[in-house]
Structure 1
Amino acid sequence: MLVETPDNTTQKLVLIDTIQRLGVAYHFKNEIKTSIQNIFDESKQSKNEDDDDLYVVALRFRLVRQQRHYMSSDVFKKFTNHDEKFKENLIKDVHGLLSLYEATHLRIHEEEIFEEALIFTITHLESMVPKLSNLLKAQVSEALSQPIHTNLPRLLARKYICIYENIESHSDLLLRFAKLDFNILQKLHQGELCELTRCDDISAINLVSPNLRPVYRTLLDRYDEIEEELTKESKLECLYYAKQEMKKVARAYLKEALWLNDVYIPKCEEYMKIAIVSTTVMMAATTFLCVMEENITKETFEWVINEPLILRASSVIGRLKDDINTNDFEQQRSHVASFIECYMKEHGVSKQEAYVEAQKKLANAETR
C-alpha cells in the first residue's frame, strides 16, 4: 500500500500521516523515510500542482519537517495578503486550517508567519467547533487540546483509531492492523511494568525488557548507595522497608497508567486508595527514617508502613491540593482522571460541585 502509492501525491501524504497517527509508522520506518526524502527533493525542484491547497501544503510541510528536513515557511506566503495577514477566504476551509495549525508547531526561531498562523487558526477553529459534525468536531477539539507534535504517540494512536474508524474512506485493512498492533503493544508494556515492580535486585535485570533496564539499573544504583551507607552504620535492616514502599509506589503508578490507557474513571474511594500512595509521602517518610542519624526501631517502621493517620492525612492533602490547583491544566493533555472527574462521574454533579467537595475533604484532612 505505502510503496505502491506514488510519492508527492496527496494520497501518499495522507497515507503517511494516517499511518503515523495510528501508531504503526515504526513498521514502515525505511519506506516512510525514503518517501519523504523523495517528496522533499521534488518540492525543491518543481512546482506542485496542489500548491494552492492549504491542507496539502501544510501537510507536506509538517511531514517533511518531522523528518528533520528544512522546508521554508515561505510556502505559506501565497495564503496571506500584502499586510501578511492570512486571507479571509480560508476561514471556511476547516481541513486547511487544521492542517496549518498542526504545521505551526514545527516552527523555528524567527518564523513570524507562524505566530500569525497560530493565532489565526486557533481563533477560527474554536469558533467553528459548535457548528461542525461530530466526527470533525472530535478531530478539531483533540488537536486544539493536544497537537500531534507534542502528543505521546501511543495516546495519539488510541484516540485516532476511534476517529479513523468513523471516516467513511478509511482502509479496513489498515484499521484492523492498527487495532491489533495497539493491543499487542499495550499487553507488552503492561507486562514490562509488572516485571519492573516485581523485580528486587540486579540478578533479575535480565527479566526486564531492554528499554526498561536503564531505569531499573538507576533505581538499583540509588538503593545500593543507601545500602552502603546503612551497612557502615549497622542499620541495614531498615532498607527492607524503604524498598517495600518503593514497590508500592511503582504499583500505584502502574495502576494509574492502566486507568489512563483504558480511559477509566474510578470511583472516589478507589482513586484515593491509589492516590495516597502515588503522592510518595509514605515512601519519602520511610526513606528519610532510613538515613537519619538516630537508630529507628523496627516498631517505628512497622507503624509507618501501616499508614498512620498523620501520613494518610498528609497524602490526602497533597493529592487534593494538586487536583484542585492543576486540574484544568492537567486535563488539557492526556492525563489520568483527578478526584474532580471521579466525583463528577460517580455522583453526576457539575465540576463546581466537585471542587466544593474536594475543598471539604481537604479541610477535613488539614484538621486531623
Structure 2
Amino acid sequence: MISSRPSLIRTTASCRVKASPSPHLWLHNPTFPFPEKRSKNLKLNATNSDLENTRPLIKFPPSLWADRFLSVPVEDELELNGLTREIEDLKSKVREKLAFSPSDNDKERIRSIHLLISLGLSYHFESEIEDTLDRAFGNLAEIIADEYDLHTISIMFQVFRLYGHNMSCDVFDRFKGDDGKFRKNLEMDVRAMLSLYEAAHLGTTSNDMDEAMSFTSKYLESLPIDLASPHLYSLIRNALYQPRYHNMEILFAREYISFYEQEEDRDEILLKFAKLNFRRMQLHYIQELEIVSKWWKGLDLPSKLPYFRDRIVESYFATVGVYPEPRYSFQRTMVTKIFIIATVTVVDDSCDAYVTLPEVASLVHGLERWDLGVIDSIPDYMKIVLRHALLILSEVEREVKPEVRSQIKQETMEELKIIMRAFLQIAQWARAGHVPTFEEYMEVGLVTTGIELLMKLGFVWMEHTNRKNVSEWLRSRPKIIQTVNAMFRLSNDKVSYKHETSRGEVANGINCYMKQFGVTTEEEAGGAIQRMYDGNYKILVEEFLNSTASTDVPRNLLMRVLKMVGVFDVFYRDGDGFTYPRGKIDKHITSLFVDRIQI
C-alpha cells in the first residue's frame, strides 16, 4: 500500500469548499495527502489509432546555448588559483576590520553582517556571525533600548530573522504615532524606508509586517527620481520589481556590488574582496557548466528525444540559486543531473508532451520496479527515457557513503514511485479532458514538483550534518518542505496555464480553481493563486524561524529551503522562464556565466 502524504494542516469543515472562492481555503492547508492509488490497477483498452490520437505532440523552443559552455579556457584555471590566494589574504584583513569580539559595538557589527550578506560574503564568516548574533540576541533589549533610527532597527530585524532569531515586530512600534500608524516624517529617510520594505518581506502569518509593507510600498512606488541618487533609485526600482528575499542570492549580490561601488562611504578593501569573491564564484560555475555540458552532450538526448525542453544550462542556473557557495560544487552538478533527467524535464515532458497514456503506465511500471528488464516491452524512445532515469539514480546511489547507501536507494525509489504515479494521474486527466476540483488537483500536483526528492538528495551531501537526524526530519515531511513545495506548484501553475491548456493539459491550478469556484477570468484566478503564494511565503518564514529554534536541523540546511523561493520567483515572476528563457532568464545566465565582473 502506498503511504499517504500527511497534510500540513488537517482539512476541517471550516476550510472545505464553499460557495464563494476564497484564497484562504488553501493558506491554512498548503499541502494535501497523496491519494492511495496504484498504477497496476489501471485498466487500459485502446486501439493503435486511439494511442496516436492521445499523443500530445508538443514542440518546445530549442536551447539558447548550444555548445556555448563546452570548453573552459586554460587561463581560467590559472586565474582561479590566483584568486583563491588573494581572497584568503583579503579575508583575514576583513576579519580584522569587522573585529568580531565582545568588546565592540553590537549594532555596528550587525550592520557589517548585513553588508556582508548583501555583498555575497557572509559564508566566509558563518561561525563568527552566528556567535555574534547568538550573544547579541540574548542582550537585545539593552542593545535597542535607546535606538530610534529606523534604518538600524530594520537592518537588525532582517539579520536576526535570517539567522533564525525571531526578533519581534513590536520593535517598530516606536516609529508609530498615537493612531498606531507609521509616522509620516519617516519618509524623509529614503534608505530607511527601503530597509523597512525589505524587512517587511520577512513577516509571518501573524501579519506582523503587513502595515510596514503597505506603508513602504506606497512611498517607494511614488518616489520622485530626484529624491534619491541614481544608483539608490535604481536599487529601489529593482527591489519593487524583485524584492531581495524573493530573489536569487547570487543575482542580488551582483547587483549590490555594483551599487556599493558607487557609495561614497564604501570600504575599498571590502569592495575588492566582494569583486574577487564573485569572480572566483563565476569561474567555479563556468568549470562546472563545462562538466555538465559535456555530460549532456555525451548523452545526446535532445536529438534522440526532440520533444522535451533542452534546458541543461537553465537547470544548472537553478541549482546555483539553492547552492551558491563554492564548496557545494557536487550538489550543483548532481542535482542538475537529477533535475533534468528524473524530475522536471525528460521524464515530466515525456509524460506531458509526447507519451500516450498506456506508455505513461509502462514507464511508471518500469521505474516502480527499478528494472531495466522491462525495457523490451516498451517503444524505443521510452527505452531511452527509462534507461537514463535509472542510470542517473544509480549514479546517485554510488555517490553516497556506503553506510547510508541502502537507505538512500530505498527512499529515492519510493519517492520516485510516488512522483511517477502522480504523472500518470495528470496524464489520465489530460487524455480524458477531465478538470478535477482544486483540492483533487493539488493533491497530485504537489507531488509532481519533485521538490522533496531534490531537497532530500541535495541534503545527503551537505557537510556538518547529522544524517540520521536530517533523514528522520525529512521522513516526517516537515511543514517547511511541504510549504516550499506548494509555492513551486502555485507559481508554476500561474504562469504555465496558457501553454498547458493549449496542449490539452486541462488539470492546472488556474483551470481547476476557475471551474470549482465559478471564476470566469484567468486574471481573477491568477490573483487568488498569487494570494495563496504570498500567504504560503509567510508560513515559510514562520516555519524557518520555528525550525531553527526547535529542531536539530542546521540553519545552513534550512536556508536552502528559503533560497529555493528565490529560484521560483526569478523563473516565474513574469511568465514561464524555464520553458521560455529568452528575454529574462537568458540575461541572468549571461550576467553570471558569460559577463565576468570587472575587478
Q: Same fold (TM over 0.5)?
A: yes
Distance 1:50 1:165, change over 3 A: farther
How much does 1:11 deviate?
2.7
2:445 aligned partner:
none
Indicate the SS of the match to 2:180: coil
Over 3 Å counting, the alpha-carbon distance change for 1:129 and 1:182 in structure 2 is farther
**What is the CA deviation profile of residues 299-342 of structure 1, one whole-angstrom value per residue up to 9, with x for unaligned ones?**
xxxxxxxxxxxxxxxxxx969x9xxx9999529x9996529x99
Of residues 359, 372, 394, the one that matches 1:228 is 372
Aligned residue among 327, 331, 337 for 1:216: 337
Provide the rounded CA distance (Å) in 2 between the counterparts of 1:234 and 1:122.
Answer: 56
Partner of 1:338: 583
Which residues of structure 2 form unaligned runs of 5+? 1-96, 300-327, 348-362, 389-426, 428-497, 503-522, 527-570, 588-599
2:151/2:192 contact within 8 Å kept: yes
Residue 240 of structure 1 deviates from its aligned partner by 5.8
Kindly provide the CA deviation profile for residues 184-230 of structure 1, in whole angstroms up to 9, marking residues without a partner as x: 111212222332232258xxxxxx94213244256666879579377
Equivalent residue for 1:103?
A: 199
- TM-aligned CA deviation for residue 10 of structure 1: 3.8
In structure 2, the partner of 1:55 is 151
Instruction: Identify the residue that residue 185 of structure 1 maps to in structure 2.
Output: 281
Provide the C-alpha distance between the structure 2 equivalents of 1:61 and 1:215, rounded to a whole number of angstroms: 34
CA-atom RMSD, angstroms?
Answer: 3.9
* Counterpart among 36, 39, 58 of residue 133 in structure 2: 36
User: By how many angstroms is 1:181 displaced?
Assistant: 1.2
Equivalent in 103, 127, 137 of residue 222 of structure 2 = 127
The alpha carbon displacement at 1:141 in A equals: 1.5
Q: Rate the CA distance shift 1:118–1:218 in 2: closer, same or farther, 3 A.
A: closer
Structure 2 residue identity aligned to 1:106: L
- Asked if structure 2 preserves the Cα contact closer than 8 Å seen for 1:7 and 1:38, the reply is no
Q: Which has the higher contact order (CA 8 A, sep 6+)?
A: 2
Contact 1:97–1:121 (8 Å) recurs in 2:
yes
Residue 534 of structure 2 corresponds to which residue in structure 1?
none
Tell me the amino acid that sits aligned with residue 139 of structure 2.
Answer: E
CA contact (8 A) 2:106 2:143 kept: no
TM-aligned CA distance change 1:7 to 1:35, over 3 Å: farther
Does the Cα contact within 8 Å between 2:107 and 2:143 map onto a contact in 1?
no
> 1:256-303: CA deviations, max 9, x gaps?
xxxxxxxxxxxxxxxxxxxxxxxxxxxxxxxx9xxxxxxxxxxxxxxx
- Structure 1 gaps, min length 5: 202-207, 245-287, 289-316, 343-368
> Structure 2 vs 1, CA of residues 47 and 39 (structure 1 numbering), >3 Å: closer, same or farther?
closer
TM-score by length of 1: 0.59
Which letter maps to 1:32?
I
Distance 1:217 1:58, change over 3 A: closer
- Residue of structure 1 equivalent to 2:212: 117
In structure 2, relative to structure 1, the CA distance for the partners of 1:101 and 1:235 (3 Å cut) is closer
- For 1:135 and 1:148, how far apart are their aligned partners in 2? 16
Q: CA 1:8 to 1:36, structure 2 compared with 1: closer, same or farther past 3 Å?
A: farther
- State the 1:28 CA deviation: 0.7
2:130 counterpart letter in structure 1: K
Larger proportion of helix = 1
1:1-368 superposed matches below 5 A: 1-4=97-100, 7-44=104-141, 46-48=142-144, 51-112=147-208, 114-131=209-226, 132-199=228-295, 209-211=329-331, 212-217=333-338, 225=366, 228=372, 231-233=375-377, 236=380, 239=383, 329-330=573-574, 338=583
Q: Kindly state the Cα deviation for residue 242 of structure 1 after the two structures are TM-superposed.
A: 10
Aligned partner of residue 148 in structure 2, secondary structure = coil
Task: After TM superposition, give the deviation of residue 175 of structure 1 in Å.
Answer: 1.1
Contact residue 200 and residue 212 of structure 2 kept, 8 A: yes
Q: What TM-score results when the alignment is normalised by the length of structure 2?
A: 0.38
Counterpart of 1:2, as a letter, is L
Check 1:337–1:54 CA distance in 2 against 1; reply closer, same or farther (3 A cut).
farther
> Does structure 2 retain, via aligned residues, the 8 Å contact 1:230–1:236?
no
Percent pairwise identity: 28
2:33 corresponds in structure 1 to: none
Deviations 1:139-161 (A, max 9, x none): 21122222222221110111111
- Over 3 Å counting, the alpha-carbon distance change for 1:47 and 1:173 in structure 2 is closer
CA distance in 2, matches of 1:75, 1:13: 16
Taking the aligned partners of 1:138 and 1:237, their CA distance within structure 2 comes to 49
One-letter amino acid matched to 1:184:
R
Counterpart CA distance in 1 for 2:293 and 2:163 is 36
Aligned residue pairs, count: 257
Displacement of 1:111 in angstroms is 3.5
